[in-house]
């Protein structure tokens, strides 16, 4: 297996992009990555997108996006793993380069979510759950994560305030991210007073509906060195699946797929979790970030709530989590998130993160998750 | 001898008081309460309908019958509020209780008498040996037009009876039906609410057919009112059953155990059937029970049952009717009632 | 609007809670499956779930998917049935004060939703306080 480097990154402003279609959003973002990389050819394209069919009635993104990027006849793949579609695209691109199959690979993620009503978006997102035995009974994603929160709170004493603190921290970070959907600070009171979506989760505990895309260019590390680019390598990739339905999990207050994917990625990278300087994780709901910090081993099982309260995961804390603002402040165009996490980590490891810079960051980790934890993708990055 | 092998009831837990309805329409609540002997009625939750209640009542009947549902040869649901205009309620019920596929099913309608019609047919099939067991359910979630007198009484409930020849809890000694064409109460296709003939629904309708059926069955059986421990009449309001009972020579004491309407409302196809389940709940071996239903249009079905020794083995195997009626109630106001009963016009 | 076939196919599960019990390790799969997730065995025998259990977790959904718009807010929960199988369903007939982890529930047949004024009516199981 060859070493794989990220030589180009691209992301445009995320939000409700009424004037931009999916193809426009994707192409604008991909061009930024291509220009950043300074490459004039692509050997392959992998795109993560959860549900263009339900959101805009468009499938066959492989053809559409390679066409509009002006790159026909490049081979292209579109991968789907619910909200971890982007992380999965990154892994597939990584495998193509590492295996020697392709040299220059564009990995992108995109989602256009605002061309349907809120109720229809809730339905589309709900297809990440068990349609016949969760969705059929009226479950939504906030509902499923709310049940995980209730279980976690019952088992470990996690509090609503601790959940709110995750959102506050991520907005604190996101207020320094000009590309974020919501680049402003919020307070714990604001979270707790915002409207309830599924008890105990308030609307400000939940990541938003967003249009957006992110892209990276991968190539063999040797090629990156020859191109005299700052070399940031992907040193580890791990993936794991778990049951589709929350009720089938052995422990509903634990994310086993993240735990396994994290172990695999770190083992491949030859690192321990304590060696990592910053983390971009999947805070689709505040409770998710708390459970993820436990599953990755940043904190002891059950102590995720206490950890955020104690500032362990703050920007200046021992384990900075979501310096970009996370899904909560940055936004969550589903298929794009996993790739945007990589964009932030690479920016940080290049020392280009401006106000958000984690000082001396040398190693980063991204964790992208689908459904209620039915799939997890973890990647480890290192700057040379 | 053929008869009832198992019986079950189901009543939703929501209630609305007469005063609450009268308040909205500026009507005379004490007048309604006194004149019709009504206090409150049951209201189905939005996720309940004739089919869901029929399933739960039938499951209760199966608990008492103690038979393999696959042995049920016929399933009938009588209602005037079947959820579909075309697609049977009976098939959903038959699947839910695992009686399919070797089973006959039909939906029946005859205003408030549809429940006892199913009972008549199921019993008859058992008597001739065409089937081993037959299930008949009377269930309704009928609507009263807003502001109309019937809004005070139109309620929801279900009663299920399994008929067979062995393990009988109440033997069916006699049946009799009295039918004429009398347009006292009707609903045209595509109309949301029924219409009725006001006072015409009294003597020429309810009273004529109930007395016709009661006198007919007593003559056929060679019996008189005093031979019975209990009698159940169809209960459109609190007064009519006592009045017709008095006309026929029955006492209040015979009527009271099966008289549920003042706290339940008129459950239409389940009205006299629920009176029967409530009566069976308190009956003793050897008791003689007469039930006479009434359905507008018009007709009455009458049955004579004699309770057997087995009644005491089965009573407690499923919820008792009076427990369903009196316990676990939740009162709602007219706004919630109108929302539940879809009387509020919403966006398309 | 989907074909009724998707709903009809699951009727034995929706109406009667029919499940599959692995002939090798006894794992009960609901809905029934072809492969046992516990031991990999491919043979199952037909069984039926218990009809009561205990609530493990729950929530109240206030922002519903569009088919459930009329029903919000409604409670949903995951219960461990008395045979050890876990089930997800709405919790109804439940005054919000008594909704808590550890409460006993039983299963009732209810309407799940309707496809508008002219479409199919979908039925299934819900929890009610026991």
Q: Which residues of A touch C31 (CB under 8 A)?
A: 132-133
Give the burial class of C31: count Cβ atoms within 10 A of its Cβ; 0-12 exposed, 13-18 middle, 19 or more buried.
Answer: middle
pLDDT score at C117: 87
Q: Which of B14, B43, B46, B47 to mutate to test the interface with C (most CBs of C within 10 A)?
A: B47
The closest of A326, A230, A345, A330 to A277, measured between CA atoms, is A345
Relative orientation angle of helices A118-126 and A141-156, to the nearest 10 degrees: 60
> How many Cβ atoms are within 10 Å of C118's Cβ, its own excluded?
7
Cα–Cα distances (Å) from A324 to A202, A343, A344, in that order, read 22, 10, 6
| CB-nearest partner of C63 from A122, A243, A248 | A122
Vertex B300 angle, CA B294 and B306, to 5°:
100
The closest of A283, A293, A296 to A329, measured between CA atoms, is A283
Q: Report the distance separating Cα A114 and Cα A210, nearest Å.
A: 7
Q: Identify the CATH homologous superfamily for domain B171-307.
A: Thiolase/Chalcone synthase (3.40.47.10)
pLDDT in tens, chain A (384 residues): 999 999 999 999 999 999 999 999 999 999 999 999 999 999 999 999 999 999 999 999 999 999 999 999 999 999 999 999 999 999 999 999 999 999 999 999 999 999 999 888 988 999 999 999 999 999 999 999 999 999 999 999 999 999 999 999 999 999 999 999 999 999 999 999 999 999 999 999 999 999 999 999 999 999 999 988 789 999 999 999 999 999 999 999 999 999 999 999 999 999 999 999 999 999 999 999 999 999 999 999 999 999 999 999 999 999 999 999 999 999 999 999 999 999 999 999 999 999 999 999 999 999 999 999 999 999 999 998
| CB-nearest partner of A196 from C62, C65, C67 | C62
The closest of B47, B79, B342, B55 to C122, measured between CA atoms, is B47
Q: Report helix, strand or coil for B114.
A: helix
Touching B (3+ Cβ pairs <8 A), the chains are C
Average pLDDT, chain B: 96
Residue A129 has phi, psi (to 5 degrees) of: -95, -175
Q: Report the distance separating Cα B172 and Cα A361, nearest Å.
A: 87
Residues contacting A161, CB < 8 A, separation 6+: A188, A192, A309
Q: Which residue spans of chain B are classified as CATH 3.40.47.10?
A: 3-169+326-339, 171-307
Domains of chain A with bracketed CATH: 4-116+210-226 (3.40.47.10), 125-206+235-383 (3.40.47.10)
Touching C (3+ Cβ pairs <8 A), the chains are A, B
**Which of A152, A259, A282, A332 is an active site residue?**
A332
CATH number of B3-169+326-339: 3.40.47.10
| CB-nearest partner of A137 from C30, C63, C112 | C112
* Separation of CA C26 from chain center: 21
Concerning whether B234 is annotated as a catalytic residue, the answer is: yes
Fold annotation for C50-130: OB fold (Dihydrolipoamide Acetyltransferase, E2P) (2.40.50)
Global pTM value: 0.93
Residues contacting A310, CB < 8 A, separation 6+: none
Residue of chain C minimizing CA distance to B96: C15
Q: Report the distance separating Cα B98 and Cα B90, nearest Å.
A: 12
Q: What is the largest CA-CA distance in chain A?
A: 57
């Amino acid at each position: 297996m060859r070493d794989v480097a990220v030589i180009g990154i691209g992301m445009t402003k995320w939000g409700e992009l009424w004037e931009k279609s999916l193809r426009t959003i994707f192409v604008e973002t991909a061009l930024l990555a291509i220009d950043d990389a300074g490459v004039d050819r692509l050997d392959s394209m992998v795109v993560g997108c959860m549900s263009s069919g339900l959101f805009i009635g468009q499938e066959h993104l492989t053809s559409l996006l390679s066409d509009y990027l002006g790159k026909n006849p490049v081979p292209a793949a579109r991968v789907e793993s619910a909200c971890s579609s982007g992380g999965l695209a990154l892994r597939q691109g990584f495998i193509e380069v590492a295996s020697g199959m392709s040299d220059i690979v564009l990995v992108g993620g995109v989602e256009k979510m605002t061309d349907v009503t809120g109720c229809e978006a809730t339905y589309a997102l709900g297809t990440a759950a068990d349609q016949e035995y969760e969705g059929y009974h009226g479950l939504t994603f906030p509902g499923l994560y709310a049940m995980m929160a209730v279980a976690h709170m019952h088992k470990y004493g996690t509090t609503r305030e601790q959940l709110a603190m995750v959102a506050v921290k991520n907005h604190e970070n996101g207020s320094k991210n000009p590309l974020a959907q919501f680049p402003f600070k919020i307070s714990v009171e604001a979270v707790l007073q915002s409207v309830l979506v599924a008890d105990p989760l308030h609307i400000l505990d939940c990541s938003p509906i967003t249009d957006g895309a992110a892209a990276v260019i991968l190539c063999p590390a040797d090629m990156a060195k020859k191109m005299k680019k700052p070399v940031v390598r992907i040193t580890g990739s791990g993936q794991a699946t778990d049951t589709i339905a929350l009720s089938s999990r052995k422990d509903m207050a634990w994310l086993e797929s993240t735990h396994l994917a994290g172990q695999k990625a770190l083992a491949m990278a030859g690192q321990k979790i304590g060696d990592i300087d910053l983390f971009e994780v999947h805070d689709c709901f505040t409770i998710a970030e708390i459970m993820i910090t436990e599953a990755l081993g940043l904190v002891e099982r059950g102590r995720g709530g206490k950890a955020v309260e104690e500032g362990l995961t703050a920007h200046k804390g021992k384990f900075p989590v979501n310096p970009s603002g996370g899904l909560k402040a940055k936004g969550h165009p589903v298929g794009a998130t996993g790739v945007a996490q990589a964009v932030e980590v690479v920016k940080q490891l290049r020392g280009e993160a401006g106000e958000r810079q984690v000082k001396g960051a040398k190693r980063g980790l991204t964790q992208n998750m689908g459904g209620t934890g039915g799939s997890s993708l973890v990647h480890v990055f290192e700057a040379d | 001898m053929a008869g009832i092998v198992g019986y079950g009831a189901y009543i939703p837990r929501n209630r609305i008081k007469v005063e609450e309805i009268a308040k909205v329409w500026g009507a005379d609540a004490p007048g309604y309460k006194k004149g019709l002997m009504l206090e409150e009625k049951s209201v189905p939750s939005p996720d309940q309908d004739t089919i869901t209640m029929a399933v739960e009542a039938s499951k209760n009947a199966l608990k008492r019958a103690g038979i393999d549902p696959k042995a049920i040869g016929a399933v009938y649901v009588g209602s005037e509020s079947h959820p579909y205009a075309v697609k049977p309620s009976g098939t959903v019920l038959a699947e839910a209780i695992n009686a399919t596929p070797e089973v006959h099913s039909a939906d029946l309608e005859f205003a408030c008498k549809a429940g006892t019609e199913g009972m008549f047919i199921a019993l008859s099939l058992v008597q001739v040996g065409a089937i081993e067991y037959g299930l008949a359910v009377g269930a309704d979630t009928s609507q009263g037009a807003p502001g109309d007198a019937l809004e005070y009484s139109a309620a929801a409930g279900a009663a299920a009876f399994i008929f067979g020849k062995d393990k009988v809890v109440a033997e069916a000694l006699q049946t009799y039906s009295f039918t004429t064409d009398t347009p006292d109460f009707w609903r045209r296709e595509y109309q949301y609410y029924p219409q009725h003939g006001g006072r015409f629904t009294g003597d020429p309708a309810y009273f004529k057919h109930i007395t016709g059926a009661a006198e007919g069955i007593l003559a056929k059986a060679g019996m008189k009112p005093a031979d019975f421990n209990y009698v159940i009449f169809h209960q459109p309001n609190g007064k009519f059953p006592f009045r017709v009972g008095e006309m026929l020579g029955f006492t209040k004491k015979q009527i009271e155990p099966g008289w549920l309407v003042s706290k339940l409302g008129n459950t239409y196809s389940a009205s006299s059937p629920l009176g029967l389940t409530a009566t069976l709940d308190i009956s003793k071996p050897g008791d003689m029970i007469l039930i006479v239903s009434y359905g507008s249009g018009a007709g009455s079905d009458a049955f004579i049952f004699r309770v057997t020794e087995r009644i005491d083995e089965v009573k407690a195997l499923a919820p008792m009717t009076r427990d369903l009626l009196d316990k676990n109630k939740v009162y709602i106001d007219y706004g919630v009632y109108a929302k539940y009963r879809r009387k509020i016009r919403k966006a398309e | 609007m989907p074909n009724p076939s998707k709903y009809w196919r699951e009727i034995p599960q929706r109406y009667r809670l029919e499940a599959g019990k692995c002939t090798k390790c006894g794992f009960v799969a609901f809905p029934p499956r072809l492969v046992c997730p516990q031991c990999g065995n491919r043979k199952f025998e037909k069984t039926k779930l218990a009809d009561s259990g205990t609530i493990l977790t729950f929530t109240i959904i206030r922002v519903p998917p569009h088919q459930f718009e009329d029903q919000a807010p409604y409670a949903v929960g995951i219960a461990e049935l008395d045979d050890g199988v876990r089930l997800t369903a709405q919790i109804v007939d439940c005054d919000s004060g008594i909704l808590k982890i550890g409460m006993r529930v039983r299963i009732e047949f209810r309407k799940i939703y309707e496809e508008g004024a002219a479409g199919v009516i979908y039925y299934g199981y819900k929890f009610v306080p026991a």
